[in-house]
Amino acid sequence: MTQIPTVVSVPVPQGLRPRCSEATCLVRSNTPVNGEYRRLVLEAPEAILDCQPGQFFQLLCPAPKGEHPFLRRPMSIYGYDKATGRLEFLYKVTGAGTRGLATLRPGDAFNVLGPLGHGFSMPIEWQNLMLVARGVGLATLAPLAQMAQEKGRKLTAICSARRPELAMSVGLFESFGAEVIVVHDQDGSSTPEALRPLIESRIAQGMVDAFYTCGSSRLLRLLQDLGDTHGIPGEIAMEQQMACGLGMCQACVRSFRVGDRIIQRRVCREGPVFPIAEAI
């Protein structure tokens, strides 16, 4: 296999984790997962695999025929393994950038920048974890399952989708010992009204010390309400349009509620992971 070029260190603003590099990876595989999503597996140099769940990379997408993606595309990490040099992304083909990603073939060179941002934490007092997410948000949360197993935590993963066969990462969560509950739109089990008693029954049994989520505004509001009612903290990975991914362009600024104030933060630099209670 072609040797991977040496990585290039990239200066980043104060406050970011310092190990951010630009590197050329090699494509191992790029295959469909279901009718909507594809899984890109890269052979990556060790220097860029000092990652945390919840971090992201800026991907230099190939130009599909007749299109010209101008900016890199931010994409959360789906999986990584320093020992085997593996870096994974899960994506849905929706625009020029992801159409370009879909053209990659095994052996192709692919340029990435990262890891970027601040990932999820898992304080010692968070022993019983509940993950609630939907669609591609489950890809962002997938590495948490491995982190939970490594730290000896119990994890319940509620995977929401439009149809049962579109529920993401179910097998991955199960492989790391998580209890997996699939809910979907077809039978109404994915609505906040249906999820509330399901979650509250586990809270009553002392099975939830912290929440994790990503992607869905209605799930965020549900977990904020439950967290406020029952005193349960948690974290959310925020999704946002980005340009530079380094905090300089200000394109990803969002509002957050801290106490009685509304403040502005950059998702790429101060996040993308934030306390659930502060997200708007």
Q: What tens digit of pLDDT does each residue of 101-120 get?
A: 999 999 999 999 999 999 99
pLDDT surpasses 80 at 13? no
HEC string of the chain? CCCCCCCEECCCCCCCCCCCEEEEEEEEEEEECCCCEEEEEEECCHHHCCCCCCCEEEECCCCCCCCCCCCCEEEECCEEECCCCEEEEEEECCCHHHHHHCCCCCCCEEEEEEEECECCCCCCCCCEEEEEEECCHHHHHHHHHHHHHHCCCEEEEEEEECCHHHCCCHHHHHHCCCEEEEEECCCCCCCHHHHHHHHHHHHHCCCCCEEEEECCHHHHHHHHHHHHHHCCCEEEECCCCCCCCCCCCCCCEEEEEECCEEEEEECCCCCEEEEHHHEC
Residue 16 has pLDDT above 70, yes or no: no
> Which residue, chain included where needed, has tokens 């439009």?
162
pLDDT digits (tens, 9 = 90+) for 198-245: 999 999 999 999 999 998 899 999 999 999 999 999 999 998 889 999
Tell me the average pLDDT of the chain: 91
Q: Which two structure tokens, joined as six digits, stand for 64?
A: 């599909």
Average pLDDT for residues 24-28, to the nearest whole number? 97
Which residues neighbour 194 within 8 Å (Cβ) at sequence distance 6 or greater?
Answer: 183, 188
The residues, any chain, with a CB within 8 Å of residue 241's CB and separated by 6 or more, are: 251, 252
Q: Which residues are annotated as a binding site for FAD?
A: 73-76, 97-98
Compute the residue count for the chain. Answer: 280
Q: Which residues participate in the annotated binding site?
A: 73-76, 97-98, 244, 249, 252, 268
Distance of alpha carbon 173 from alpha carbon 52, whole angstroms: 17
Q: Kindly report the pTM of this predicted structure.
A: 0.89
What confidence score (pLDDT) does residue 7 get? 54
pLDDT at 19: 59
Which pLDDT does position 279 carry in this prediction? 96
Q: Which residue numbers belong to the known binding site for [2Fe-2S] cluster?
A: 244, 249, 252, 268
The pLDDT tens digits for 66-77 are 888 788 999 999
Q: Of 58-67, 155-164, 223-232, which range is least confident?
A: 58-67
Structural domains of the chain in order of their starting residue, each with its CATH number: 8-116 (2.40.30.10), 118-237 (3.40.50.80), 239-280 (2.10.240.10)
